[in-house]
Structure 1
């Protein structure tokens, strides 16, 4: 059983299909599930790769990973002829930076001084510093260190992008240690399954996306709340009963992915405060990153429709992270009874960029610009609020929501969102968001760059 829980824990950093995680949960819980719970869970587990003949999916099962500085560090060791005795973690930002700072003095280079014309030493300066090497040799080492620093910056940025992508999908569940995760089996099952639902990819559509909290998520959460669904012999009436067994639910762990009112009420004020501090710090970090993307991209704020040169993938992933962090921050504010703080500061949502073809499809089918865009256009940008350049409070947000014809509470601008329970739907095979019926066909279409917006490479005859 312990190995299975470990496998379940590994899915928190993966992108497994809900069907496959449901199968793992079914094997893990076994006879602990009631007959009705088995029926609900089987809606997903029957579609697992384990239960499908020639089970295969074209969908990536992992999040992207940033490539460390192994290649660059090994080359530096070779060029500088170093004898490094300590083990270096090529994927650790701090160790990469320490390595650069340790070897930079060997050619009297300062960390961060990378101007080719102004920061290099000339012949006389090298002689004064005791560097008895040729200009060619010196330049080679100097350029190598410059590339290492550039790699460090790029690697740090990539790690941050991937981290924000994960946060935008499932909050902080990927940060849960195995020790925390394994404390309660029902908690672990809910977190693992709901995590996969949150990780579902967006579908190319002009309607809303599939909601994460489905009937299976609800059933697994009810097990954490010790609520069972019982059906009478005529299968006509359903009732919920409270189990008499002692509750071992790890609500702290659940709050890393699901911060509803019913979850947060089980946390102490100290735990809520800890979460609030964590999410506030994350919001600030995301705001800083959003500003950098905003400066580099000529985003049309009025329409939020993608145009050439926009890094829509990074913007949308980071916007998702902001909105997820903001939702959690808002939930905790209300749970602590601190919603008066919104009279001073009320962070707005960040809108995603919409693909031009999706926008055209939406308009051609009678749709209009999302009214949330109008609110987004009027309120200060997140980084402006954090930097103290602009003020954004509840009164301001309510004002522009009403002008846009939105209910500020129901639309989630000034209050926690409500979660609706949806029916489970099989996970579709997607090629750049387009649903494809067969996973093998999907793989072929991906290779030929169909639906990618790029030139299609037709299959040779």
Structure 2
């Protein structure tokens, strides 16, 4: 039984799965949780956590980071709901967070529509409005044309707003999935089953949520010495660990080996759904503006944000799906159905930087360019067996196993912990206060800088 303070810390750790806290701050929460439980940590774990927590905001003199500690949330429909409440008499009082709940927004639109005899989805201003005779017949003849039109237009705008809220919430979820797998979807009950499992999940998720750095090299690896120490605690007590929860974020063979076939199948079905949802996002972005597939360099008109978020989510979902297929012993599925990876779009300045430093396109780009598009494979319009992927990889001298084209991602060795940098549009800045000033001035954004920028340069 957890003490009240320990339970609150565990809930804070669970909340971090949908936030973007620095790994250092999550490490400090884990330290506090173990202290509240009176847990005696082994020297390796104690040293690793201390090394990370040393740079937590609570241990820094300024206690401040310029980077948001949450993923961008869509602007809700609070303003539209308030306006609807003033125009429609049948609407009840709504809670403050109703504008962020699509189900409540839709319910309001439907209920308000009943007052003016409008059905949900009737948005044609020329065909769906009622004239005077129709309003009289419908029992709202006392409402003037102006008042009727005002309400009709509001509900039409609210339906459009609802669509935007749903789309942006879906994009936010896709972004979190790409960086942290299914961590954000873990229930508190499952997360809190075992403290050591919860600590590992929270820390590895925080590492995955770190922002990308502007570089022409590889990004920082997620699995570090702190994660290794926390995972070792699970290895030392495998019977106590909640391996099913860990498998939501870390689908390595040593984890999946402890998960039942029933739970593995449940995860496989879930990742199947994610692959299909993300493929729709990719296809939509492609149809709106087809990309330069041979180079994957951003051109004017490309929706690089949506594509890159969806591409990362696809690759994460694909990696989990492959790992589950292999653990279930269903290798023959990949012989017939082996969808490829999806590369992110590269900014032209980064591509130029690669060329100037003696590099070029990533070899995976050439493989991607020859394989069928993911959504075509999922719908069965084109075939993509393992043999095809292997032949394309061989043609471009890419190892299909080491490159995770035909197998699950290989297990990475733990890297040394390094503190999280303050980033301004991907560029590391030493001081968080300076970072705030540079960001507000537009420095490193690629846009015209305001006068404030000159004062800092």
Distance in 2 (alpha carbons) for counterparts of 1:32 and 1:442: 39
The answer on 1:301 being equivalent to 2:293 is: yes
Corresponding residue for residue 22 of structure 2: 17
Shift of 1:98: 2.2
Whether 1:315 aligns to 2:283 is no
Q: How does 1:246-325 map to 2 (within 5 A)?
A: 247-325=239-317
How far the C-alpha of 1:368 sits from its partner, in A, is: 1.3
1:4 partner SS: helix
1:166 pairs with 2:176:
yes
TM-score by length of 2: 0.93
> How far apart, in 2, do the equivalents of 1:296 and 1:121 lie?
35
SS in 1 for 2:162: helix
1:217 aligns to 2:231 (yes or no): no
8 A contact 1:213–1:419 mirrored in 2: no
Cα separation, 1, equivalents of 2:442 and 2:94: 45
Partner Cα separation in structure 2 for residue 345 and residue 24 of structure 1: 43
Question: What secondary structure, in the 3-state scheme, does the structure 1 residue paired with 2:451 have?
Answer: coil
Report what 1:333 is aligned to: 325
Point out the more displaced range, 94-103 or 165-174: 94-103
Are 1:91 and 2:103 counterparts? no
Helix, strand or coil: the match of 1:50? helix
The count of residues paired between Structure 1 and Structure 2 equals: 443
Q: TM-score, normalised by structure 1?
A: 0.92
Q: 1:36 and 1:267, CA in 2 relative to 1: closer, same or farther beyond 3 A?
A: closer
RMSD over aligned Cα, in angstroms? 1.8
C-alpha distance in 1, partners of 2:238/2:340?
41
CA deviation map 1:249-305 (0-9, x unaligned): 000110111110111110110000000000001111111121112222342112111
Aligned to 1:109: 118
- Residue of structure 2 in register with 1:433 after alignment: 426
1:374 and 1:35 map into 2 onto residues whose CA distance is 47
Q: Is the helix fraction higher in 1 or 2? A: 2
Q: Helix, strand or coil for the counterpart of 2:315? A: helix
Over 3 Å counting, the alpha-carbon distance change for 1:124 and 1:302 in structure 2 is farther
Give the Cα–Cα distance (whole angstroms) in 1 for the partners of residues 75 and 104 of structure 2.
15
> How many Å separate the matches in 1 of 2:333 and 2:396?
24
**Match runs of 1:35-434 below 5 Å:** 35-84=43-92, 89-132=98-141, 133-226=143-236, 247-420=239-412, 421-434=414-427
What is the distance in 2 between the residues matched to 1:303 and 1:71?
43
- Alignment partners' CA distance in 1, 2:125 and 2:395: 54
Q: Distance in 2 between matches of 1:385 and 1:327?
A: 16
Relative to structure 1, is the Cα distance of residues 389 and 36 closer, same or farther in structure 2, using a 3 angstrom cutoff? closer
- Give the corresponding residue for 1:231: none
Q: Which of structure 1's runs of 4+ aligned residues deviate more than 4 A? A: 85-88
Q: 1:343-395, CA deviations, whole angstroms, 9 ceiling, x for partnerless residues?
A: 22112111101011101101111111111111111112122222232222212
**Stretches of structure 2 lacking an aligned partner (at least 5 in a row):** 1-5
Q: Could you say if the C-alpha distance between residues 359 and 177 of structure 1 is closer, same or farther in structure 2, counting changes exceeding 3 Å?
A: same
Structure 2 residue aligned with 1:453: 446
Structure 1, unaligned stretches of length 5 or more?
Answer: 227-244
Distance in 2 (alpha carbons) for counterparts of 1:373 and 1:112: 43
Mapped to 1, the partners of 2:253 and 2:91 lie a distance apart of: 57
**How many Å apart are 1:83 and its aligned residue?**
4.5
Partner residue in 1 for 2:3:
none
2:32 pairs with 1:27: yes
- TM-superposition CA deviations, 1:160-199 (whole Å, max 9, x none): 0000000001001111122222221111111111111111
